[in-house]
Chain A
Amino acid sequence: MKKRILVSLATMGIVATLVGGATFAIFTDQSTNASNTFTAGTLEVEAGAQNTQGVVLTNMAPGDTIDGTFVVTNTGTLELRFDTTANISGTIFEGTTPAVVTIDNAADVVVAPNGGTQTVSYHVNLPQGAGNTYMGATGDLTFTVDAEQTANNPLPAVQ
């Protein structure tokens, strides 16, 4: 009870100061809810050792298919989905019957946060009809993985 009285006196003291400080002062009081913490998650993706993985294409004969895989790891704290695109360069990808790259799961692959992984499979095919112009041709193939958050980010409706 004593404590209560002291507190009121202290409040009145503050009030008096306020009144003295500004002639138009009115009685006010504030209450604060302190230390609200907001931490944003992270979105980080790794493919193999780096964000792009290079493949060297050599010694392909017409009709050959090279199959490969690489692993995508979600090193962030948020669930993500990613698209994979192939970046091609070199003579084997040029001309009238170039080598063709297909990716089995190229779009919207979901990976769990904190170390979840997904494997991407791809195939490189040099068509049967590729003629002698492709002898000795070379190519470089890299993959780019583009990731985005899945939460609050619905996929556009499929028409």
Chain B
Amino acid sequence: MKRKILLSVGAAVMSMGLLMGGTTYALYHATATTTASPSEGTFVAGTVDIDSYRDGFDTIPGPMFYTTPDEGATPTEPSFNGLKPTGIWTPGDTHIRSLIVYNQGQLDAVLDQAKVEVEEDTAGMAGNMNVAIYKVFPAFCLDGTTPFAPLPGDDTLDQDLLNEVSAEINPFILMYHHYFGVDQLAQQFIENNVRANPEPLWSGKLSDLTSDYQTMNPVNMNASEDLFVKHGTLLAFVVQLDKNAGNTVQGATAKFGFTVNARQASNVTP
């Protein structure tokens, strides 16, 4: 320890001497630099980065809605079929599927737009389908006793809570043939003792989503403080083939992609 101190003193004296000797006109001065960023003057832009996975009993990636098991297979692994096909649609049929969206970027983000990509729709099914998108959060905490209270300004859940709300709603959304309006999910949850609260984000015709992004009620997706702990939100997509779809869609098949858009939370006037 003593040796170390002596050495540094020696080094300091030497370097001072050298500096002063090198420039005769040198005055003593000091410069302090404050850096706007904590990491030594380097500006690093944060990222808005979201990812999504279908939920339900399907633990492998793939589409949320599929008529047959093979249509629900993981695109890269066609041998892994989907587990919960909707079956063919009858006018009036309502099916619910869920999507977990994670914020894996460094910035707080707001999820506030949705869109549909039409991959195939020759019979115009989009105009005959009703869609509602909900944010679903648990009604009770993991210990089962205390009511769940979302953190103000943050709609994300940790993985344990996401698993919990999935486990709560999955049996309901997959258990039987549904027949109700897409805007009646909250009422359905109450009638079926599903301990989850659906908050409506958007509803309308599926064809309304095909032209451009539509604005949804915002979902605040704050960045996770721990990069290795994912935070996300569970979205429920309720889709109905309209009761009055009519014979023009008999036997028709359509393929759609559901897209959600997130933006940085700060410095944006909605």
A: residues with CB less than 8 A from B are 8, 11-12, 15, 26-43, 76-78, 149, 151-153
Give the Cβ gap from B4 to chain A, nearest Cβ, in Å. 36
Contact string against A for B residues 181-220, beta-carbon threshold 8 Å, 1 for contact and 0 otherwise: 0000000000000000000000000000000000000000
Place the interface of chain B in its size category.
35 or more
Residue of A nearest to B51 (CB): A31
Q: Given that A28-B48, A29-B105 are known contacts, is A152 also in contact with B262, CB under 8 Å in the complex?
A: no
Residue of B nearest to A154 (CB): B179
Cα of A86 to Cα of B56 in the assembled complex, Å: 50
Q: Given that A41-B90, A78-B90 are known contacts, is A36 also in contact with B255, CB under 8 Å in the complex?
A: yes
Taking a contact as CB atoms under 8 Å apart, the answer to whether A43 and B250 are in contact is yes
Taking a contact as CB atoms under 8 Å apart, the answer to whether B88 and A37 are in contact is no
Q: Given that A29-B105, A78-B88 are known contacts, is A36 also in contact with B65, CB under 8 Å in the complex?
A: yes
Q: Given that A12-B45, A36-B64, A40-B241 are known contacts, is A28 also in contact with B88, CB under 8 Å in the complex?
A: no
Q: Given that A27-B47, A27-B263, A28-B262 are known contacts, is A38 also in contact with B256, CB under 8 Å in the complex?
A: yes
Taking a contact as CB atoms under 8 Å apart, the answer to whether A38 and B241 are in contact is yes
Q: Which residues of A contact B145 (CB under 8 A)?
A: none
- B252 located at the interface, meaning its Cβ lies under 8 Å from any Cβ of chain A in the complex: yes
Q: Which residues of B contact A76 (CB under 8 A)?
A: 250
Give the Cβ gap from B209 to chain A, nearest Cβ, in Å. 12
Q: Which residues of B contact A149 (CB under 8 A)?
A: 90-92
Give the Cβ gap from B241 to chain A, nearest Cβ, in Å. 6
Using a Cβ cutoff of 8 Å, how many contacts connect chains A and B?
146
Cα of A27 to Cα of B50 in the assembled complex, Å: 11
Q: Which residues of B contact A40 (CB under 8 A)?
A: 88-91, 123, 125, 241, 245, 249-253
Taking a contact as CB atoms under 8 Å apart, the answer to whether A29 and B117 are in contact is no
Cα of A76 to Cα of B92 in the assembled complex, Å: 17
Residue of B nearest to A152 (CB): B92
Contact string against A for B residues 18-56, beta-carbon threshold 8 Å, 1 for contact and 0 otherwise: 000000000000000000000000000111111110100
Taking a contact as CB atoms under 8 Å apart, the answer to whether A31 and B50 are in contact is yes
Which single member of B47, B48, B66, B243 contacts A37 (CB below 8 Å)? B66
- B259 located at the interface, meaning its Cβ lies under 8 Å from any Cβ of chain A in the complex: yes
Residue of A nearest to B123 (CB): A40
Taking a contact as CB atoms under 8 Å apart, the answer to whether A38 and B264 are in contact is no
Q: Which residues of B contact A43 (CB under 8 A)?
A: 247, 250
Q: Which residues of A contact B65 (CB under 8 A)?
A: 36-38
